Amino acid sequence: MAQMNLTPLDDVLDKHFGKVGTPKRDAFESDVDGALHAYRLGEAIKKARIEQNLTQEQLGERIGVKRAQISRLERGYSITIPTMRRVFKALGVVTATIDLGIAGKVALW
């Protein structure tokens, strides 16, 4: 049986995006971080929708969009603050803040 040759993920990332601290690697890490946050936000939308026994179509009707747009939101695509506001208000979330670290917290709605 042939032995597998495994390459550590850090080596692959270094090869394709450069070492940690280089502009290309930093941009990649930032993109991954942003996508992860959008995914988590989409999961929160989906969880709240399901807890209220709503279909994607029903939630879409509440905010005036088609089911496909709700699907994209739940997968972490096309999420803007105005859209988040409409979705979460439709789900009964009446206030939200964002923690900006040293700059403090800001009310989104």
The pLDDT assigned to 109 comes to 84
pLDDT tens per residue, range 51-94: 999 999 999 999 999 999 999 999 999 788 899 999 999 999 98
Report pLDDT for 17: 96
Q: What is the pLDDT of residue 2?
A: 81
Q: Categorize the per-residue pLDDT at 22 as very low, low, confident or very high, splitting at 50, 70 and 90.
A: very high
Give the model's pLDDT for residue 88: 93
DSSP, res 98: E
Q: What per-residue confidence (pLDDT) applies to 92? A: 93
Share of residues in the chain with pLDDT > 90 (%): 83
104, pLDDT greater than 80: yes
- CA-nearest of 89, 53, 46, 93 to 70 is 46
**pLDDT for residue 36 is more than 80:** yes
Topology of 19-107 in CATH? Answer: 434 Repressor (Amino-terminal Domain) (1.10.260)
Selection from 16, 41, 42 nearest residue 28 by Cα: 16
- Give the residue extent of every domain in the chain: 19-107
Hey, what are 59's tokens? 């939630």
